[in-house]
C-alpha cells in the first residue's frame, strides 16, 4: 500500500477499546462518556480487519486503546494475531498498555508471540502518579512492569514530559530504566481532546530536556528506528536507548508508515487530522474481502502529508476534538 507521497504503509495501530481504568489528566476528562458496547467491533471483526491489513502489506501491528487489557476476551485476539507472527505473515505484534493489568497478562502475552511492549509510566512517585491518573495505584504498574520483564518481554517505558509535573524526574527515570534494562521514550504532549485545565502550561519542549540530560549522560547519536515516530540516542553509561517523540517541535511526518483504526472500525490516516474512513460498514456488508480492501485502498490514497499541531498561547483549544484514547497512542 503506497500513499500519495510514496510512503509505504506497513504499520497498523489498532485501538481495541476506548475505555480505560485510569484517567490521565492530559489524555481524558474526569467524566468520560464511552462508546456504547454495541458500536464496537467484535473481537472476530477486529481480527478479520487485521488479517485484511496484513494481506495488503502491513507487517507490524500494535494494539492500543484506551487500555487494551481491559477489553474482555482480548487475549483470544492476541493469540490469534500471534499466529500470524508464527506463520511469518506478520513481523511484529505488540501492545501499548498502562501496565495496571500486566502482572496478570505478561506470561500469556509472551506465549502468544509478543517480544516487546510499551508501558506508559510518567512518574515513579506514588502521589504524583495518583494525581496524574486521577486515582491510579503505582504499585500495580510497577508490579506489571516487573512481571513483563520476568516473562521475557522487552519493555519500553513511555513517559509524557510535563512541565512542573514530572520534569524533575526525567533524569532519574533515565537512570532507573538503565538499571532495569528498559528503553525509554519521552513524549511531548499533543493537543488532542478537551481536558480540564490547560495543557499548554505543562507543555515541555524536548529539545530543552535533551540539553539538560546531556549534562549528566553521554547521549550517543543512533540511527535506530523502531518503525515508529521516535528518534533515538544511546545512553553510553547504561547502554539503554532513549527515544524522543516530538510532534510539535519537529515534523515527524515525512517517514510516516502508519495508520490507525479505532474500536468502531474507523480508519484514521493521521493522528493529527480529522479525515477518516468507515471500515465497519464494508466489513459487515459482505463476507468477502473485496469491499473492505477497496475501502482501505481508497482511504490510503488520500493519506495527508502531515499534521498541523500547534500549541501556543493563542491556541487554547485542542487542535482536534478527538481524544488520544479514541485513536490510540
Ligand atoms: N492506555 C494505554 C497507555 O496509557 O499506554 C494505551 C493508550 S494511551 C492513549 C497511549 C499513549 O498515549 C500513552 O503513552 C499516553 O501517555 C499517550 N498520550 C495520551 N494522551 C496524550 C497527549 N495528549 N499527548 C501525548 N501523549 C499522550
Ligand atoms: Fe488511559 Fe492510557 Fe489515556 Fe492514561 S493515557 S487515560 S492509561 S488511555
Average pLDDT over residues 290-295: 96
Q: What is the pLDDT of residue 323?
A: 66
* Cα of 324 from ligand 1 centre, angstroms: 6
- Cα–Cα distance for residue pair 50/41, rounded to 1 Å: 12
Q: What is the pLDDT of residue 196?
A: 64
Tell the burial category of 6 from Cβ atoms under 10 Å away from its Cβ (0-12, 13-18, 19+).
exposed
Residues 137-180 have pLDDT tens digits of: 999 999 999 999 999 999 999 999 999 999 999 999 999 999 99
CB 185 within 8 A of CB 230: yes
Residue 309 pLDDT > 80: no
- Cα–Cα distance for residue pair 221/234, rounded to 1 Å: 6
Average pLDDT over residues 200-224: 91
- Cα–Cα distance for residue pair 120/96, rounded to 1 Å: 7
- 63 C-beta neighbours (distance < 10 Å), count: 28
CATH label of the domain that carries residue 312: 3.20.20.70
42 in a structural domain: yes
Atom 12 (ligand 1) nearest CA: 329
Q: What is the pLDDT of residue 223?
A: 79
The H or E element spanning position 12 is strand 11-15
Residue 199 pLDDT > 70: no
Q: What is the pLDDT of residue 312?
A: 47
Share of the chain above pLDDT 90, in %: 72
Q: Which of 173-187, 205-219, 292-306 has the lowest mean pLDDT?
A: 292-306
Closest ligand 1 atom to residue 122 Cα is 16
The H or E element spanning position 285 is helix 280-285
Atom 1 (ligand 1) nearest CA: 67
Mutate to test the pocket of ligand 2, among 30, 31, 66, 134 (most ligand atoms within 8 A of CB): 66
CB 199 within 8 A of CB 191: yes
Q: What is the pLDDT of residue 315?
A: 52
Atom 8 (ligand 1) nearest CA: 329
- The tally of domains found in the chain comes to 1
67 in a structural domain: yes
Q: Is the CB of 27 inside a 6 Å radius of any atom of ligand 1?
A: yes
Question: Which one of the ligands is nearest to 25 CA?
Answer: 2
**First and final C-alpha spacing in the chain:** 22
4 in a structural domain: no
Residue 200: pLDDT band with limits 50, 70, 90: confident
Q: What is the pLDDT of residue 270?
A: 84
Taking each helix axis from N to C end, the angle separating 102-111 and 74-87, rounded to the nearest 10 degrees, works out to: 30
Average pLDDT over residues 203-219: 95
Residue 190: pLDDT band with limits 50, 70, 90: confident
Residues 81-123 have pLDDT tens digits of: 999 999 999 999 999 999 999 999 999 999 999 999 999 999 9
142 in a structural domain: yes
Residue 326: pLDDT band with limits 50, 70, 90: low
3 in a structural domain: no
255 in a structural domain: yes
* Cα of 294 from ligand 1 centre, angstroms: 31
Which residue in 147, 122, 135, 132 sits closest to 69, CA to CA? 147
* Cα of 190 from ligand 1 centre, angstroms: 9
Residue 124 pLDDT > 80: yes
- Cα–Cα distance for residue pair 127/124, rounded to 1 Å: 9
- Cell numbers given for 308: 498541523
Say what the pTM is: 0.92
Q: Give the domain extent around 309.
A: 11-327
143 in a structural domain: yes
Q: What is the pLDDT of residue 80?
A: 98
The alpha-carbon radius of gyration of the chain (Å, integer) is 19
Closest ligand 2 atom to residue 133 Cα is 4
Q: Is the CB of 24 inside a 6 Å radius of any atom of ligand 2?
A: yes
Q: What is the pLDDT of residue 313?
A: 44
Residues 15-51 have pLDDT tens digits of: 999 999 999 998 998 888 999 988 999 999 999 999 9
2 in a structural domain: no
- Cα–Cα distance for residue pair 138/133, rounded to 1 Å: 10
Amino acid at each position: 500500500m503506497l500513499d500519495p507521497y510514496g510512503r509505504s504503509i506497513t504499520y497498523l495501530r489498532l485501538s481495541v477499546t476506548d475505555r480505560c481504568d485510569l484517567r490521565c489528566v492530559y489524555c481524558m476528562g474526569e467524566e468520560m462518556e464511552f462508546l456504547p458496547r454495541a458500536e464496537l467491533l467484535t473481537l472476530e471483526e477486529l481480527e478479520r480487519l487485521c488479517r485484511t491489513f496484513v494481506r495488503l502489506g502491513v507487517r507490524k501491528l500494535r494494539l492500543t486503546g484506551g487500555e487494551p487489557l481491559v477489553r474482555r476476551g482480548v487475549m483470544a485476539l492476541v493469540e490469534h494475531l500471534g499466529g500470524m507472527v508464527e506463520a511469518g505473515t506478520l513481523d511484529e505484534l505488540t501492545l501499548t498498555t498502562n501496565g495496571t493489568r500486566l502482572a496478570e497478562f505478561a506470561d500469556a502475552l509472551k506465549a502468544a508471540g509478543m517480544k516487546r511492549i510499551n508501558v506508559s509510566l510518567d512518574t515513579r512517585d506514588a502521589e504524583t502518579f495518583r494525581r496524574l491518573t486521577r486515582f491510579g495505584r503505582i504499585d500495580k504498574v510497577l508490579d506489571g512492569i516487573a512481571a513483563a520483564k520476568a516473562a521475557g518481554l522487552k519493555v519500553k517505558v513511555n513517559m509524557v514530559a510535563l512541565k512542573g509535573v514530572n520534569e524533575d524526574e526525567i533524569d532519574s527515570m533515565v537512570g532507573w530504566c538503565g538499571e532495569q534494562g528498559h528503553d525509554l521514550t519521552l513524549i511531548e504532549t499533543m493537543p488532542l481532546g478537551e481536558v480540564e485545565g490547560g495543557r499548554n502550561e505543562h507543555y515541555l519542549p524536548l529539545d530543552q530536556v535533551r540539553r539538560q540530560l546531556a549534562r549528566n549522560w553521554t547521549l550517543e547519536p543512533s540511527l535506530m528506528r523502531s518503525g515508529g515516530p521516535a528518534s533515538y540516542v544511546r545512553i553510553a553509561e547504561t547502554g539503554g536507548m532513549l527515544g524522543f517523540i516530538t510532534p510539535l517541535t519537529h515534523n515527524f511526518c515525512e517517514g510516516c508508515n502508519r495508520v490507525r483504526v479505532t474500536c468502531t472500525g474507523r480508519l484514521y490516516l493521521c493522528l493529527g487530522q480529522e479525515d477518516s474512513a468507515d471500515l465497519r460498514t464494508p466489513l459487515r456488508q459482505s463476507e468477502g474481502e473485496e469491499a473492505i480492501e477497496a475501502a482501505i485502498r481508497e482511504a490510503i490514497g488520500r493519506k495527508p502529508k502531515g499534521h498541523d499541531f500547534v500549541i501556543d498561547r493563542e491556541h487554547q483549544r485542542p487542535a482536534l476534538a478527538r481524544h488520544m484514547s479514541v485513536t490510540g497512542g
